[in-house]
Chain A
Amino acid sequence: MDFLGDTVVLSRMQFALTAIFHMLWPVLTTGMSIYLIVVEGLWLKTKNISYYHHARFWAKLYVLNFGIGVASGLPMEFQFGTNWAPFSEAVGDFFGSILGFEASMAFALEAGFLGIMLFGWDRVPPVIHYLATIMVGFGANLSTVWILVANSWLQTPAGGDFIKGKFVVSDYFQAIMNPFALNSILHMFLATLETSLFVIGGISAWYILQKRHQEFFTLSFKVAIAVAVAVTPLQIVMGHLSAEQVRHYQPTKLAAMEAQWETIPAGSTADWSLVSLPNDKAQRNDWELKVPQGLGYVLEFKSKLSEPVLGLSAFKPADRPHAIGLIYYSFRMMSGIGFFLAGIMLVSLIQWLRGNLAVDQLAQQKWLLRAWVLAAPLGYIAVESGWIVRCVGRQPWTVYGELRTADMASHLPAAQVLTSLTAFAVLYSSLLVITLFFASKIIRKGPNLELAAPYSSTIVEHQLDSRPVN
């Protein structure tokens, strides 16, 4: 248990724990905000009360997730200062301003309009309410943009130079549009959508299996399939494009993702490792199941590699990641889930085209519905795995090729970090359990289909209710 006395390791564990826990919540609220914009728009357009009930029902899950997201996001921001002071000082000029933009442009917008979106149904005209819903969704997705800009810059720093250990920006546009930025933003945007779609579709499938509110949930189930038709294949493409960039800009990460120890020269073929037991000390895989000549097809869709693939052994041990097994399996988990979800989409689409998803027939598609219920948590697992590949694979660097993680930690007594880490671990595990409990309670209770359309949709000029309490 040597790490218990190592501040750097403890601070890393604390940040990883905070980030992994935090990611669970905005991934849903960001994607779901778009769903809420869609159903409220459909309600305003068609005046079909069912859409209004959808907006109200899913907003309950939304706000539960939003609250935990805000609560768990705050410690991330402050940890840059408390646990990573040298890092904050070195890159604050750029990294700090980007976090400032995220707060002022995105988070403030989302939080500022959330009150109206949740509680304002009877207080503002429908158009203003819809505007609030759009602003909440716009803010959430703008957050994705800025956070991914900041993280991408850690992966592929650009737009300035490190002078005496401090980053000085010379070109903001270049720094913001750093090589990873655009692909990463799109990959994450699709990830939030895909995760939310399968949560919405999975919960809807559960109701249909339970034969509760079948007509109501067939609607959201079909919306989920329809959007998944576009999102799941696009995500596979984005995943591939991201991997190509990793190969180009972060060869150590790609080698870790494939547990590839030896360099493969250009013009040759190589096997693609499907399952293996990487051994970091011996610099080889103890055991391996391979697809013969597969690597060329995985990376370039042809048998011979046009460029060399650098192996881990080509780098000094101090310059490459060491948790190879974690990176290797996280990558396989993420991509496996991506293909599995696309498969579910394909089967659902075929059944739809064959006319088997009509309200009166859908409940008979038991296996399809069960697959959707099973798929509900998979998006989260894929997102977390992807972030593990991205950030553990970046090691030993905090800013790739420039600043080493070991030099970036605050000099704190290990006991102090261990204490806060333990407190976070206890708090977050309890929050996870309690949130799942309340989420399942909301789901078991189901939508309130008796809810009348809001007051404001019938009377445009809103009046203030000034009755006293009791």
Chain B
Amino acid sequence: MEALQHFLPQVWFAILGLFLFLYITLDGFDLGVGILSLTSSSEERRSILMTSLGNVWDANETWLVLMGGALFGAFPLAYATILNALYIPASAMIFGLILRAVAFEFRENSDKKTIWNLAFGVGSFLAALGQGFALGSVFEGIAVDGLGHFTGGMWDWLSWRSIIVALTLIQGYVLIGSTYLIMKTTDELQATHYKTAKLAAITTLVGAVFITVSTPIFYAQARDHLFDLPLLYVFGAIPLVGFGLVGLLLRSLSRKQETAPFVWTILLFLMSFLGLGLIIFPYVIPPSITIYQAAASPSALTFMIIFIGFLIPIMLFYNIYNYIVFRGKVTSLHEE
């Protein structure tokens, strides 16, 4: 029983990590394309960018809905406290995602595409910003009492370090958005995104280095955690692999490869994600509430594993199928 009470929350920590990774990667390129559209030089280009996402954005957003539901069920305390603490960033994300979603539907029926193209870009940026600050608060920590209830203030999530984390996440989204567009477009549009990808790769790297270096300095708990053997080797290896991946990414960009940059970026996201997960574990509300304290009852966790766990491969299957059906370049502005 004791073992089960440790094992089940760990499984759910891993499942939630998977959902979050899928969301950040998949909706990450959607949001990145949205942010890129703000810098696009013509309405026509903006329209191509939106068309490239028309069939996937809502499926990608599903992972966020799923993560919300699973977090609510598996770690009710964490769901309550984290969202309570992040009221403002969460609201910004929600308003951003609403704006982004309606932009797709309204644009399809509108004669004035400009305003909806703009709503798409602004919404994507706002959503990414909200998510960035939410991520920042993981490093910053959330103030709670002994029962894990939020005791901090409404602006606790805002600090100079969380600003850097938010900007880095936005750069990451721009990077993965650019590499997605390299795959989906041709000619001049593709050439533009080779440039934006290279730029974003460098800015993301700068942000990531800063976060990696500053975390043990400012975050005492992570420091104790990080310098434990044998974890030290893992933490040492992740940045090295990360640097290697950035190198491979830059090389594939200069060789004008079409698919490789996207793949390297996904692996880069995966590395950052593993690092993040290892820093946080076993906490779910950093820096004080562990997954064991916040977990639902073992029976609830088991029940959810049976239902949701069984569905994960099925969900992955039809989502992959969706991408296979729509593989290839964006060929027309109207997918009617």
Q: Does B84 contact A (CB under 8 A)?
A: yes
Q: Is the CB of B62 within 8 A of A107?
A: yes
Whole-angstrom distance between the Cβ of B137 and the nearest chain A Cβ: 14
Q: Is the CB of A85 within 8 A of B59?
A: no
Q: Taking A67-B105, A101-B307 as contacts, is the C-beta distance between A466 and B94 under 8 angstroms? A: no
Kindly supply a per-residue 1/0 record for chain B positions 43-58, scoring 1 wherever the CB is within 8 Å of any chain A CB and 0 otherwise: 0000010000011101
Kindly supply a per-residue 1/0 record for chain B positions 87-112, scoring 1 wherever the CB is within 8 Å of any chain A CB and 0 otherwise: 11011001101100110111011100
Q: Is the CB of B76 within 8 A of A434?
A: no
Q: Taking A88-B76, A114-B59, A115-B56 as contacts, is the C-beta distance between A100 and B69 under 8 angstroms? A: yes
Give the residues from 63 to 102 in chain A that come closer than 8 angstroms, CB to CB, to chain B: 63-64, 66-68, 70-75, 77-78, 80-82, 84-102
Q: Does B201 contact A (CB under 8 A)?
A: no
Give the residue of A67, A84, A124, A416 whose beta carbon is less than 8 angstroms from that of B325. A124
Q: Is the CB of B90 within 8 A of A413?
A: no
Residue ranges of A at the interface with B (Cβ–Cβ < 8 Å): 60, 63-64, 66-68, 70-75, 77-78, 80-82, 84-105, 107-109, 111-116, 118-120, 123-124, 135, 168-170, 172, 410, 412-413, 416, 420, 423, 427, 431, 434-435, 438, 441-442, 464-470
7 CB < 8 A contacts A-B: A70-B61, A96-B74, A111-B58, A112-B322, A172-B299, A467-B331, A468-B187
Give the residue of B54, B86, B101, B335 whose beta carbon is less than 8 angstroms from that of A70. B101
Which residues of the partner chain A approach B104 to less than 8 Å between Cβ atoms? 67
With A74-B97, A97-B72, A469-B187 already in contact, 5 other A-B pairs whose C-beta atoms are closer than 8 Å = A67-B105, A80-B72, A93-B296, A100-B69, A423-B91
Q: Is the CB of A75 within 8 A of B98?
A: yes
Q: Is the CB of A77 within 8 A of B69?
A: yes
Which residues of the partner chain A approach B329 to less than 8 Å between Cβ atoms? 466, 468-469
Residue ranges of B at the interface with A (Cβ–Cβ < 8 Å): 48, 54-56, 58-59, 61-62, 64-66, 68-77, 79-84, 86-88, 90-91, 94-95, 97-98, 101-102, 104-106, 108-110, 149-150, 154, 185-187, 189, 296-297, 299-300, 303-304, 307-308, 311-312, 315, 318-319, 322, 325-333, 335
Q: Is the CB of A81 within 8 A of B62?
A: no
CA distance A99 to B73 in the complex (A): 8
Which residues of the partner chain A approach B333 to less than 8 Å between Cβ atoms? 469
Whole-angstrom distance between the Cβ of B165 and the nearest chain A Cβ: 21
Q: Is the CB of B80 within 8 A of A71?
A: no
Give the residue of B62, B72, B79, B335 whose beta carbon is less than 8 angstroms from that of A112. B62
Q: Is the CB of A115 within 8 A of B59?
A: yes
CA distance A95 to B71 in the complex (A): 11
Q: Is the CB of B90 within 8 A of A114?
A: no
Q: Taking A93-B73, A438-B106 as contacts, is the C-beta distance between A115 and B101 under 8 angstroms? A: no
Q: Is the CB of A119 within 8 A of B76?
A: no
Whole-angstrom distance between the Cβ of A372 and the nearest chain B Cβ: 24
Q: Is the CB of A100 within 8 A of B308?
A: yes
